[in-house]
Structures are given as C-alpha cells and as structure tokens.
Structure 1
C-alpha cells in the first residue's frame, strides 16, 4: 500500500501523556474542552467532506472524547446538507462528549441500520491501551465491511498510540487517518501505519511542547560554496572487503549524495569499478592505517561488502580506531562489540535493521524490550552513536535523546542493496554537514524520495542513480 502524508507542520510527535499535557496547557490558557472539541471535530469534518464527496456518512461514536469529536463531525456534515447518521456504540461518558452529543440534531441509528458509503471511526481514540473485543469489535468490523470508504479520527480503534501495536484482531484498512492536535508515534510505526493509505493533521492550536521528537521533513540542501573544491566538499573513504559489488554500490551513493571525493579502500582486486571511483588496495598500495589517517577525510563508511572473516574484523577495527567520523553498516554491525568502542568519542552513525539491532542489544547489555523508538534511544545512549533503526518504519535516535520519525516509505525499498545505498547517502551527508543527526535525517529523506522516483520493481543500482535527481529536487 502506498502511503501519502499531507503537510507535516507542526512537526512534533507526541506520546499520549504529552498530548494530554498539551491539551491541559490550552485549557489553562482559557480554552475549554468544548472549544477544543469543536476545533478538532470541525477540522476533521473538512477531511471527511473531501473524502465523502456527498456520499452518505456513518459516524461510529464511542463513550469518550473521541466519540465527542464524532458528534461534532456529524453535526458539521449535517449542517452542510450531508446524509449523516450516528451509531452510538456506547452512550457518551464524558461531560464534553455529552455536550457534543446534545448539540447533534441528526439521525442516530443502530449498527444494523447504518447504510452509509463512508464510515468515520470515532469509537476510541489515541488513549486506548486495552484490547478491543466482543460486541464492540464486531460492531466496528461489521460496519467497516459494509462501508466502501473508511476514515479513522486521530487513530483507528484498536491502535496503541505510543507503540503502534494492534489491540484488535482484524483491524480494518482505512483510506484516511486524521491526526488531531499533533502527530502521535503510531502514525509512523508498524504495524499500525500499514493500515491507512493517507494521513492528515488537524492543528487545534497546541503549542510546541519542547519534546525532542519530530517528523523528518524534506531537507533544503545547499550547493557547495563558490570557492569549494573536492576536499572541502567532503572526502569519504569506504572500507571495502570481500564483496566488491556492495562496496561499489555504496560508493556510488556517496558520490551522488553530495560528497566531493570518494575513495574505496579495497581488500581484493576490484574489476568493476566505475572510472570516476578512486580505488586503493590496502594492504598493497597503501596501509589501511595510513589511508584512514588522512586528515582530509570527512567521513568513513565501513560495512557494505565487508565480509565477516578475521580480515574483515581487522578492517572494521582499523576504521573505528581511526577516530574519523564513522558510519557502520551491515557486516560491521554484526561484528561490533561493546569493547570495540571503548574510548571512542568521535562522531558515529549505526544503521541496524531488526536482526542487527537484536545482536547489538545483546552485545551492549540491552534488554531489547520496549517500543521501536525506545529501543533505538537505548542503543544510541549505550553506544554514543546516532542510531538509524531501519525498516518500513525507520526511526532515528541520538545519544542526547532526540527522536526522528519518517512517514512510511515505498515498500519497493525491500530489495537487496537498498541498505548499502542508504549507508552511502548517510556517509555523504555526514561529510558535508558534520552533524550525524542531520546527516541521518537528510539521508533517510533522500533515500525515501529516490524510491518514489525509481518507481516499482527497481534494483539497488537504479535506486542509487535516482539519488542524483533527488539532490536536484531538494536543492
């Protein structure tokens, strides 16, 4: 399923407790719950109106304030002349929901009587933390099956907001998820995020909460300075190994993502290097220590094509010992141990997928428990590195506690070599910016956009070539 997100701003991503605090601050400033519910419901109704296109609408309302939002949505649509009916799965239970229900002048029907074309799910919102079972589950599933289009308000019923976990068996798929007030973590985390095609945000006026969790947005990339040369633009050294294809692929991504100079330190003879890639044999033409000791190096990439034998381990250890800004990927992550980072204080980025993450957590004494953002943050703190926890819901964490989320990228990225391309882009952006968190965020955005440009069924080499187009688009 292709995912589309509307405008991201404001870009903060809040937990349930942080959203509750934001709402409380609004109320402390003189905005009552009724006013906030009207803002949220009317804003959501704008999106229902666009999706429904005058088709009949059924609004499924629960007992809490999410249900109250549903009554506001229904009344707003009714006033616009829509055929709308409310299904009250449970009576309103909060004062705000009761007031919203009292202001609704339209039809209320049983679930069996509902005949709309569009279902608006306001049964439970982002505060849900228990399983949805029994009659409530069956009501939702029956209505979803009988409505051609489905819209979730804040989050679909049966999604745990802070983790993206599912609290219902058989969660329906939705055409649209309308976030209220702020983005929640589940809007970017699997498996929840695979259950809607498009997401939009309704801003209710919440202030920036000062949380260190943001959505990755399209970066604005700068052209090199007028007096730039290949070294000032960033020299990236790629430590190759037994598999030259992955090293060459990563090197290509480095070159296309803005670095001024790329050197591949090869262990074996390289037979397929492009003419514009500088290849040095080490050992052979130069020692690895000498090559990595070049003070003009802006970033080192180690992992793609490295291998896992004793020679690969020695090359990884040399890269770490160089104290150059470092990106570790693929095989390097599999071999990395906590004692290998002892005394290292220079910039580093780690790029684990789920399997590599589990190995790193074991080696760094981490439990591996918690949500994906929590696991990424724990590894970042333990290693002192920026962690790019890859997957269909990539999360980036810094040692300082910053989190970055990204809208789901194209599922066509699930192809061999795409991680090598991402690692190369990160290394290039690290060389250019000198900031590991900025580099990681820019790289993930570039990588995701390159997948869109490459289209369906691309190879990793095609993905790397698309990076050039993205750089022009983002500059």
Structure 2
C-alpha cells in the first residue's frame, strides 16, 4: 500500500506528523507544505475570483494563513477572517508571514471562494454558536466553498456531525485521508475531495482506500471452468437470485448456474438453470464459488438451503435473507475464511446483535464483526466499508447516489460471487465488486434501474482491463 492510499485516524495522523518532526522536519515546514499544497488547488478553483480564508486558533488556522499568503503572492485578492488569535507557535509564525489585513468578523464580506480553516480534523465538540453563525454567514456570501482537511464540525474518526455542518464543494485532505472522508453523514457534506501530500510515511495497521482493480484477459488456453463456475442459489422469491445471476455472468466468471426449483422462462439463454435437488447440485466438485441469500426466504426451508450451501465448503457470498438466518449454529464447522458477507445497514445491525458486537460506528462494527466471526464483511451503502478478520479495513471512493434503487444490492452480490469464482479471496472479491458496481452506475446514468445496471456491466468491466 502506498502512503497516499492510507486512511488515518486523528491519533495516527498526529503520530505520523510527530515521526516527520523526529526526522528533522519542523512544524513550520510541515505547515508550509500543507498550506502551499492546498493553495495550488484553491488557485485552480478560484480562477481569479476573490478568496476569503477563515482561520481558527490552531494549526489548521496556521495552514489558512499560509494559503492566504501563497494566493496573495500570486495576485489573487485575498481576505482573512480570524475570530480568535493564533494559539500555537507555528500558527503565530504563519500569521506573521501573512502580509494582508485580518478581520475579526464576517460583516459585509463577500467573495468567490471561502476557505474553511477554522478547526478541521481532530475536533471533538460542536462549534460555538458564534463560530457556527460566522461560518454559515460567510458560506452564504461565497459562490464556492473549500474545507481544509475536514469541514469544521465533523468528527474525524467516525464521520459524525458535531452540530450543524455546512456543505462544501471541495475538501482538501492534508497528508492522508481520514475516515470521515468516506463515512456518512460527513460524506454528505464534503463535496469533491483531493489529497495534499506532505510527506507522511506508511503507518502500520492503517486502513486504506481499496485500490482501483486491474482485471486480466483470460489466458489463451482458458475455458469456462478454469475461469470459474459460480452458482447462485434461489429460494422462495427467485427474481432476486435471477438478477444476481445475470450480474454474475458479467463479472468475470466463465460459467454461471442458477440453482432453482422454479421455472424461469425469461432467463438469458446463456444462463444455465439447474432445477435438480440442491444437495445433489452442490455435490459437483467443479464449483468455484456460491451465492446464497437474494430471495432465499427466512423460513425453515430457507435455513436448510443455507445450511446445505455452507456445508459444501465452497467459497461463498452471503447476502440478503441469508444474513437474517445466519447464526453460530449454522457456522459450526464452517471455515469462515471462505465467506464474504454483504450486509446493508439493517442487516449489519442484526448480525452485530446476533454475534454480540457492541461497537459504535459503521467501520468499527464491521471490523468487530469480522474479528469475532472470522468472516469478511462488506458493509454496503453510500459509505461502503470492507473489513477482514485479520484487521484489514478498506474504504471506497463515493459511488453515484442513484445506486439507491431496488435490486442494485442483488447486482453487487452477483458481482462479488463472480469475482470470488475467478479465484480471488473474499476481501479482494468484495472490493473489486464494489468498484465494478460503481463504474456500471456511472455508465448507466441517473434514474437507473437494476436492469440498467446489469446492461452496463460489460462496458464497465472493460474499463478495468
């Protein structure tokens, strides 16, 4: 993992900065790196428009003074608003280098771009009423807003909003990404994001942004079984399983079978529907991966089908109804390292309650669930996170919001089993499925349906070759 891919908590970021200082980089030098790097982005978005920089008392405010002076030296009209005097040596030094005037209030200040350097990351309490009002008034009188590191009022590690937080057009992460750049509800406030490098080195045990995958074309001698045989197990409501299977056909597996006792007259010609007894069908030694859960049902018959799938010993994706049935009894004797769970928020809550997980926050709940059970957990939603039993955690770039549509989760599950069938481990299969799912959504466009998403999978897949 490259340093630019890591996601650091507030404590990890402080330690990373302290490590740089221990190797001879001064706090002032780090502030200059961060401020000048951020100013490069602000210079672009300002496009000659006046800029107002709101500076707080700490080092985030110090970054703001550096930004202001850098832009002023380039000929941009810049104003600084600082309701509190600097309280750190580095911030005081940065203010001393600023060659413009400093206002203490936002009265009658208008501009093209507002830069929020009030508090940034590390904040643990809401803004004071007067600071919240000042920030709101300035934001209302500027056409474009930029947050430095994080919007003031966002909790760094969990993405919570510590009061009323403004929406920003752009957020510039300093040194490393933070969890709040990927987690709701902060994700709804930060706008576009860019990373400003300051020389932070790799931090042991850090979370990461799951890297953009690179798929390979099949080998010259490949055939359908060497590319992977994926099975989708249907249940009481076969439509969801059919949707997942059609997605799996476009996710890289060479052969997909729908294991269903139902009639499927509308099934694609290339999809094999196997209506034989499930136990008999699962006895095929050529299975590469299985998916169970979409449309499975939650009665005793569904539980028996889930048990049969888990007993097959094949790498498996568990989704939807399977996540409502899963418990310790069903997992007894099962190798958890073969399993990938794909819960949405409600299903994640149910699983945490079932397995005694009491952690708070999406990432920590997924991480704890993986640790307790040994399973790989892909907690999906607008802020999808991935957690493995060995402690690995991954975040993803924000996907199009129009994925909030019925059936898109079944498509994701189908992609995950397809990637698993190609030989990928559960963690990699889940991450690759998320990227492919999001790319297909971009190509399908707004107001998509799950069927539209499936139709765009082939062209989306080609983007990763």
Q: Under a length normalisation based on structure 1, what TM-score does the superposition of the two structures give?
A: 0.95
- Matching of residue 422 in structure 1 with residue 412 in structure 2: yes
1:351 aligns with 2:342: yes
Query: Does structure 2 retain, via aligned residues, the 8 Å contact 1:89–1:123?
Result: no
Once the two structures are superposed, the pairs formed by residues 133-282 of structure 1 within 5 Å of their partners are 133-169=128-164, 171-281=165-275
Distance 2:179 2:231 in 1: 36
Whole-Å Cα distance in 2 between the matches of residues 197 and 213 of structure 1? 22
Q: How does 1:71-150 map to 2 (within 5 A)?
A: 71-109=65-103, 110-150=105-145
2 CA distance for matches of 1:447 and 1:96? 45
Counterpart in the other structure of 2:440: 450
Q: Secondary structure at the match of 1:456?
A: coil
CA contact (8 A) 1:234 1:261 kept: yes
* Unmatched tracts of structure 2, length 5 or more: none
SS in structure 1 of the partner of residue 191 of structure 2: strand
- Alpha carbons 1:87, 1:114 under 8 Å: kept: no
Residue in 1 that maps onto 2:375: 385
The answer to whether the Cα contact below 8 Å between 2:68 and 2:80 also exists between their aligned partners in 1 is yes
Write the distance in 1 (CA, Å) between the matches of 2:374 and 2:225.
27
Deviation at residue 116 of structure 1 after TM alignment: 2.1
- Distance of 1:233 and 1:216 partners within structure 2: 24
Q: Is the CA contact (8 Å cut-off) linking 2:3 and 2:202 kept in structure 1?
A: no
User: Which 10-residue stretch deviates more, 331-340 or 227-236?
Assistant: 331-340
User: Structure 1: which 5+ runs fail to align?
Assistant: 1-7
Measure the CA separation in 1 of the matches of 2:183 and 2:424: 28
**Equivalent residue, structure 2, for 1:55:** 49
Deviations 1:49-84 (A, max 9, x none): 111111111100000000000000000011011111
2:169 counterpart SS class: strand
Does 2:355 match 1:364?
yes
CA distance in 1, matches of 2:251, 2:3: 26
Structure 1 stretches (4+) deviating beyond 6 angstroms? none
CA contact (8 A) 2:147 2:172 kept: yes
| Counterparts of 1:114 and 1:90, CA distance in 2 | 17
Decide whether the 8 Å contact of 1:242 with 1:267 is kept in 2: no
Output the CA distance in 1 between the equivalents of 2:21 and 2:361.
30
d(CA) in 2 for partners of 1:280, 1:238: 10
> Would the aligned equivalents of 1:212 and 1:401 in 2 still touch at CA under 8 Å?
no
* Aligned-partner Cα distance in 2 for 1:28–1:134: 38
SS at match of 1:207: coil
After superposition, what is the alpha-carbon deviation per residue over 1:98-123, rounded to whole angstroms, capped at 9, x for unaligned? 00001100121232142322110000
Pair 1:294-2:289 in alignment = no
Q: CA deviation at 1:168?
A: 2.2
Asked whether the 8 Å contact 2:3–2:200 carries over to 1, the reply is no
For 1:360 and 1:195, how far apart are their aligned partners in 2? 29
Residues of 2 paired with 1:221 and 1:200: CA distance?
A: 26
Post-superposition offset of 1:389: 0.4
- State the shift of 1:310 in Å: 2.0
The alpha carbon displacement at 1:216 in A equals: 2.0
How far residue 235 of structure 1 moved from its aligned partner, in angstroms, is 0.3
In structure 2, the residue matched to 1:5 is none
**What do you get for the CA RMSD once the two structures are aligned?**
1.2
Q: Secondary structure at the match of 1:10?
A: helix
* Distance in 1 (alpha carbons) for counterparts of 2:87 and 2:128: 19
1:4 aligned partner: none
Distance 1:442 1:473 in 2: 12
The whole-number CA distance in structure 2 between the counterparts of 1:267 and 1:338 is 28
TM superposition shift of 1:133? 2.5
Contact 1:66 1:124 survives alignment (8 Å):
yes
**Which whole-Å CA distance do the structure 2 matches of 1:93 and 1:104 have between them?**
16
Does 2:457 correspond to 1:467? yes
Task: Indicate yes or no: 2:306 matched with 1:311.
Answer: no
TM-superposition CA deviations, 1:231-257 (whole Å, max 9, x none): 110000111112221111101111101
Shift of 1:287: 2.6
Q: Deviations over 1:159-188 (max 9, x none)?
A: 00000000122x211111000000000000
For normalisation by structure 2, the TM-score amounts to 0.97
Q: 3-state DSSP class of the match of 1:447? A: helix
